[in-house]
Every structure is written in C-alpha cells, then in structure tokens.
Amino acid sequence: MTRLRVIFSRLSIRWKLAIWSSLLLCVLFLAYNGIQYFVINQWMFHQEEKAIQKNMEEIQGYFTAENGNAEEIMNSHAFINSINESHQMIRILDQQGIPILTVSEMMPEDWVKPEVSIRTTMRSSWHEEEHLLIIRSPLQTSQFTGTIEIVNNLENSDQLSNMLLAVMLAGWLGAIVISGLGGIFLSRQLLRPIQSLTDTMTNIKQKGLQERVEISNSNDELAHLSIVFNELMDQLERSFHNQKQFVEDASHELRTPISIIEGHISLLNRWGKHDPDILEESLNVSVQELGRLKGIVNELLELTRAEADPSSGYHFSAVIRDTIEYTLKNFVMLHTDFGFHQDLEPLEQAKININPNHLEQILLILLDNAIKYSAQIKEISVEGSLKHQRVYIKVTDQGIGIPQEDVPYVFQRFYRVDKSRSREQGGTGLGLAIAERLVARYDGEISITSISGRGTIVTLSFPLSR
C-alpha cells in the first residue's frame, strides 16, 4: 500500500488527474449499474412469479368449477395445453404423487421430481444450468385430491439478465477507458498554462530575464497566475536593469577621480617628486580628488539608506516650520554672501510624518543646489503653504536654471546638466536622486520648474499629519 502511494506520489499531475477521474467514474458507474441490474432482475423475477401464479389460479378455478374426478382431469389435456406456455410444464399428481396428467412444452419431465404438497409453495431451483421456478398447489374437488405442479424454465429472463449484465460491463469498461482518456485530455488542457510557465522559467534560466509567458484569452486562475508571473518578471527585469545601470554609473563616476589620482601619483613616481611645484600641485589635486571620492561614496551610502524600507519612517512627526527654520539658520551662517528670504507663516504648527533629520537632509540638498547653481543674483527664498491637507515647501533661486529638456532627468542618479560645472562645484549628481527617494518614503512629492538663465523652483509637498 505504501509502495503504491509512493509510486502514485511520483506521478505527474496529468496522470494523477487521469487516474483519479477514471477511478471516481468507475466507482460511480459500478454502483449505478449494480443497483440498476439488481432492480431489473428483481422485477423480471417478480413478473415470472406473477405469470406462473396466474396460470395456477386458472387451473384451480377450472377444476374446482368443473368439480372433475380423476378421469375428467386426465382428459383435460386440451385445456391445460391451451394455457401452457413455452419452456413450461404443467403436471397434475394424484394423492400418492403419481402424475396423472403432464403437459410440457420444451421441458423434459424428469427435470423436476413429482412432489405432493398440501399448501401452495413457490421456489426456484436449478437443474444443471437451467434455472427453474416451481409452484405447487393442492387441488381439491369432491371427487379428487391431488397436487398441481407448474415448472417454468427461467431461461428467457436469465438470458435477458445476462445480456443486460454484459452490456453494463461493456459500458463500464468503456466508461473507464473514456474517462481515463478524457482525464488525460482534460488535464493536458488545464495544465497547458503551467507547462508554458515551466517552459518560460527554463528559458529564463537559459536565455535571461526578457522571456515572458504567453497569456491565454481565458479569464481563469491560471491565466491570472501567468499575468502575475509576467508582472513579477517585468519588475525583476527593471530592478535588475536598474541595478546594473547603477553599478555601471557608480564605477564610471568613481573611475574619474581614481584616474586623476593615478595620473598624478605615477607622475610623481616617474620624476615629479623632485620638483617641489609639481609635488605640491599633484598632492593638492590628489587630496581634492580623494575628497570627491569620499563624497561620492558617502552619497552612495545615503542613497542606499534613502531607499530603505519606506514604512520605517512613519512613527516620526515633525513640526515642519521648526525644522525648516533650524536648517536655514545653520545654512545661512555658512553662506553669508547670499540673501535668504523665508515665508513660513502659513505653516504655523503644521506637522508632517517625517523624520526631522531626513527633512533637514532634503532641504540641505535643495539649498546646496540653489547656492551651487546661482550666478550673479544670489537670492534664495524658502516659502511654506498649506493646501488640500498638504504642506508645500518651495525653494526658489535665481541662478542658471535647467534647460527644459533636462528637467525630467535631473532626479536620475549621476545625471548632471553641465558635468564640468557640477564637478567644479563638488557635485556628484546624486543629491536630487537622494532627495526624491527620501520624499517618496513619506508619501511626499518633489517637482522642479525652471527657466534656463532665470532660476529654478523646487517644490516639496507632504500630507499633513493627522
């Protein structure tokens, strides 16, 4: 039994489904046919009993009405013949059990021994292969006492019943085969999407993430599974691509300062170390580039932190005005050549769910950019407002601005409109990418409107804390 179970568990779902469906149908068909066969058999037997009983009553009635003696009974051959049927024998016995009249059609007399009976009895018996139904009843007239025997060969109804059984068995076997084949066909149809899923997964393993499952027109669970699988693969491919892009971008960014440092050090190594001017310059450049490297590495780290689990920041609540004022105060001290204007009245005690450190970090990135990309007019303003249950913070500068076609890309990692200017200013192209991810962590939005040569407005918005 356990061996069978092990073999069964190793079969494919297709075979399991086929076996289960045919087994179930087999049992159902067997039960149904069995009951049908039993009921029909019983009914046929009952019909035979009724017919033989009717014959008996007819004979009884006839002889009782005639009130015949033994001789008259012996001469009533014609009457008995008229009511006898094929495969049936009617026999009248005297008191000693000796047959005085026997009428038989297609049934040898010696199949059943004469037997006297003092009451009506009905029984079925066998003579070799032949199934017989025997009814015995006493015959009593004023001049005769004896027994009437009617023996009926149930050959016809037995043949019918055997035929029925054969038909049912054939039907049963046919049903098993058909249900087995049907099960295989059905499971193949049902499991086709799973097969296609398996094929796609194999292809993904061999060829890469771009493979997708073909979606069928049906609206069933397996079609949904395929859709979800494809969506998952889209997501995976996107994130894989992003990851790859990130590594490429990061190594590209790191390569520049490393190459510069390498250039200067090999210069020193070859002959520069003896020339104090070159030594001085090379060391200065190297220190500067190392600072840049450190800056990039730190910002990369910030970027990774900013992408951390979004739900982790929700337990914070900051009085936004206080945080902005605090950040600005420290910032203004470092940039005395800039004019700062602030309008935070509308915010009053407004609170948003944000870690104050993160808000400060976002503001510093925006203020830092405003400073870095300012030209002659060194004016920066920070304004706050409330609208539709949201807090808006606007950082405006009157600097060089961003060309319209570059605006959509400035949030991408390492994207810089003017690479050399950004580099000169110590920019890494990561600031806005970090800010955007931090803002998104708190259900916030960040947008930029800018006119090249006129200035830039960066707007932050966050839902008000309840």
Please report, as ranges, the residues that interact with ligand ADP according to CB under 6 A: 365, 369-370, 372-373, 397, 399-402, 410, 415-418, 422, 427-433, 456
Q: At closest approach, how far in Å is the CB of 437 from ligand ADP?
A: 11
Query: From CA 317, how far away is CA 355, in angstroms rounded?
Result: 7
Neighbours of 136 (CB within 10 A): 23
Nearer Cβ to ligand ADP (237/249): 249
Q: At closest approach, how far in Å is the CB of 455 from ligand ADP?
A: 7
Q: Which two tokens stand for residue 249?
A: 């971008």
Residue type, 84: N
Residue that the structure tokens 């049963």 belong to: 172
Q: At closest approach, how far in Å is the CB of 227 from ligand ADP?
A: 36
Nearer Cβ to ligand ADP (157/456): 456
Q: At closest approach, how far in Å is the CB of 217 from ligand ADP?
A: 46
Nearer Cβ to ligand ADP (1/334): 334
Q: At closest approach, how far in Å is the CB of 302 from ligand ADP?
A: 12
Kindly state the helix (H) or strand (E) to which residue 41 belongs, with its residue range. Answer: helix 13-66
Query: From CA 82, how far away is CA 70, in angstroms rounded?
Result: 19
Nearer Cβ to ligand ADP (147/428): 428
What residues have CB less than 8 Å from 376, skipping those under 6 apart?
Answer: none
Nearer Cβ to ligand ADP (18/402): 402
Q: At closest approach, how far in Å is the CB of 224 from ligand ADP?
A: 40
Q: At closest approach, how far in Å is the CB of 452 from ligand ADP?
A: 9
Q: How far is CA 35 from CA 48, 158, 357, 362, in A?
A: 20, 17, 82, 82
Neighbours of 245 (CB within 10 A): 13
Nearer Cβ to ligand ADP (225/407): 407
**Is residue 89 classed as helix, strand or coil in its secondary structure?**
strand
Q: How far is CA 23 from CA 17, 35, 45, in A?
A: 10, 18, 33
Please provide the distance, in angstroms rounded to a whole number, between the alpha carbons at the two ends of the chain: 65
Nearer Cβ to ligand ADP (179/422): 422
Query: From CA 100, how far away is CA 89, in angstroms rounded?
Result: 13
